Amino acid sequence: MARRSGMLLLLAAAALLALGAGAAVPPSCERIECPAYDVVDSANGFEIRRYKDAMWVSTAPIEDISLVDATRSGFLQLFKYIQGKNAYNETIEMTAPVLTRVAPSDGPFCVSSFVVSFYVPAKNQADPPPAEGLHVQRWAGARYAAVRRFGGFVADADVGKQAALLDASLQGTRWAAAVSDGRKADPASEYTVAQYNSPFEFSGRVNEIWMLFDTMAASDM
């Protein structure tokens, strides 16, 4: 009985450690390159990450009523880019996640604005190939993200709810003000949807809502 009680205590301690460490790295990041980050805090419903200096290639804003359709349109542009449709005619390795930055409209049937981005792999970070219709953006220094993870295929009806749940989970925490200030500093980006899987993967899908904020707000914590 004593041995069994000790084993249960060990399992409980391991579970608490796992919760404290935040969510596991998405499985796709074990197969393809993903941007590096550190988990600086985690609690019920959210994780706070610190992303390191990184380059991303992004589309121009895409006006659409559907995040799913806008992401598909933007990804096709980025897929052509990594297949060699760039100034260097260079083939680039696929990475994850594909990001869709969302600036929501004022109503359910109004056009929103979306920017779709691809993480530039490490070997291309120093000199990402330019391409017509795309632009390179740099996350200089550290960039912070409040993150909520969810599964399945991303649907237009779900992303707003997931963003609201992330926002609600942050209320009353030391991160709420920093995230709010981040939205005020960049009104064109209410939240970002991160998708880690190919459209042909039907199980074990990983998606996330990100709310980005800057290092100045975080360093004041």
CB atoms inside a 10 Å sphere around CB 9: 10
Span 189-211, average pLDDT = 94
- pLDDT in the model for residue 96: 98
CB atoms inside a 10 Å sphere around CB 107: 9
- pLDDT in the model for residue 170: 96
Residues 46-84 have pLDDT tens digits of 999 999 889 999 999 999 999 999 999 999 999 999 999
10: pLDDT strictly greater than 80: no
**Burial level of 98, CB count in 10 A (0-12/13-18/19+)?**
buried
21: pLDDT strictly greater than 80: no
Considering Cα of 33, then 34, then 40, then 43, what sign does the dihedral take?
negative
134: pLDDT strictly greater than 90: yes
* Domains of the chain with CATH codes: 31-212 (3.20.80.10)
Please give the helix or strand (H or E) that residue 116 lies within, else none.
Answer: strand 112-119
Q: Where are the beta strands (DSSP E) in 28-90?
A: 37-43, 46-51, 54-59, 62-64
Span 88-109, average pLDDT = 91
Residues 164-188 have pLDDT tens digits of 999 999 999 999 999 999 888 877 6
- pLDDT in the model for residue 193: 98
156: pLDDT strictly greater than 70: yes
Higher pLDDT, 106 or 99: 99
Please give the helix or strand (H or E) that residue 134 lies within, else none.
Answer: strand 134-139
